[in-house]
Structure 1
Amino acid sequence: MARQKLPRFIHNAQAENVIERGKELYTTIKGQWREKYFLNNNPIVLELACGKGEYTVGLANQFKEKNFIGIDIKGDRIARGSKRAIDMKLTNVAFLRTPMIYLEEFFDENEVDEIWLIHPDPQPRDKEEKKRLTNIQYLNLYRKILKPNGDFFFKTDNSGLFEYSLGTLDEANYRILKKTTDLYNSDFLDEHFGITTHYEKLFVEKGFKINYLAAKVL
């Protein structure tokens, strides 16, 4: 396994679209993503816990007029998304390697236009609640970096996490605009442009329903 990961870590160290510890932009990019990396004034969209970056790359390919940043702590996963973006010659994509709790170190207040959270680890045990990426602490963090009326999109196969998140979003003063417990049999499926993650495909094949919501910060 280590031998498989090593080439991906080498790729990340050399790839311009990967920002990680040891690179200059890692400590200077905050508040300057448009000026220092994207070189435009387009909206910024984050995919949190992006894994292999399926949504980051897929959305970037659909919306060339927006800037997309996939964020994850797993360097071997990020490398796959980075390579895909390079192969597709997408210049509106970046990947940031960091834990989600440190988002404020990389983004100014109101710097972000949209956040996508796609199939995060549900952390089902009660003692793991603080690790759930839809707990109050994280939702308040997202609010700080999102613009007023910024968009938040959430997708999960875990019904327990979905119900939990409906409550925390309400508590954190997010306004839920759309929600479904069966995305593939809803009016909202087209909003995903046929983009699915590796794990989502497995979930659907096993008969799991996909939960989805769209919300705005108030």
Structure 2
Amino acid sequence: MGKDKLRRFAEVETFSNVVQLDAGKPFKGNWAADFFKNNKPLVLELACGKGEYTVNLARLFPDKNFIGIDYKGNRIWRGAKTALEDGVNNVGFLRIQIETILEYFAAGEVDEIWITFPDPQPQLSREKKRLTSPRFLDKYKEILKSGGVVNLKTDNDGLHAYTAEKIEELGLKLQVRTEDLYNSEFADEVLSIKTYYERKYLADNKNINYLKFSFE
């Protein structure tokens, strides 16, 4: 492991807005009250990477709490550090495997979920690792409040199509679907937040897909 990664891992340990592994379990059911010290709605970004989307959502919506979730601490470091330096106090980061999410959030605790540019896991043998596979959707359904929504933003046409198929197969409620976000009517201030990787995709003339759905 490079010195820069080691430095980031060490620094993340000192960040007040980062919770790692088992240290997050006591917050289950009480993230708003115990971590954020308020009663605002709770929004998650899964596989948040460097946390760019998480932090920018938090800037746009100071009346909500945001948690970026990823397992790679050296990536979380960037978003957490930016939030601390800029005084964005309604954002935190949780370093866990997303597979274990039910150990950290209670039934009906979460108001909204964002999944932005996740690994599409294109091999059929890795379907269960896709963040919109039924295995994961069951977990989201449990932690979301009634009427809570899931947003998927991806450059991968295959993952977009796969997710749309699962929404239909499982009888979920599709609210928005577009295969070309920036040439659609849906590209508002929220969906126009662009991460480093999204800017690279757009520079390569890749289309950006977007889906919004709920479980009822």
TM-based fold match above 0.5:
yes
Structure-2 separation of matches of 1:169 and 1:148: 17
Tell me which moved more, 100-109 or 168-177. 168-177
Shift of residue 170, structure 1, vs aligned partner: 2.3
Cα displacement string for residues 8-57 of structure 1 (whole angstroms, at most 9, x for unaligned residues): 111210001000036xx423111110121111110000000000011100
Structure-1 separation of matches of 2:194 and 2:155: 12
Say how many residue pairs are matched.
216
Q: Is the 8 A contact 1:139 1:169 kept in 2?
A: no
Q: Which residue of 1 aligns with 2:134?
A: 136
Secondary structure in structure 1 of the residue aligned to 2:136: helix
Q: Is the 8 A contact 1:154 1:213 kept in 2?
A: yes
Cα displacement string for residues 157-215 of structure 1 (whole angstroms, at most 9, x for unaligned residues): 01011100001122333211111000010111114253111111111110110000111
1:14 counterpart letter in structure 2: T
2:19 counterpart letter in structure 1: I
Alignment RMSD (CA, Å): 1.2
Structure-1 separation of matches of 2:207 and 2:17: 34
Q: Which residue of 1 aligns with 2:5?
A: 5
Q: TM-score, normalised by structure 2?
A: 0.96
Q: Which residue of 1 aligns with 2:37?
A: 39
Shift of residue 115, structure 1, vs aligned partner: 0.2
| Superposed counterparts of 1:1-218, under 5 Å | 2-21=2-21, 25-192=23-190, 194-218=192-216
Cα displacement string for residues 115-138 of structure 1 (whole angstroms, at most 9, x for unaligned residues): 000010011111111110010010
2:45 counterpart letter in structure 1: E
Structure-1 separation of matches of 2:110 and 2:82: 23
1:102 counterpart letter in structure 2: T
Q: TM-score, normalised by structure 1?
A: 0.96
Name the % identity.
46
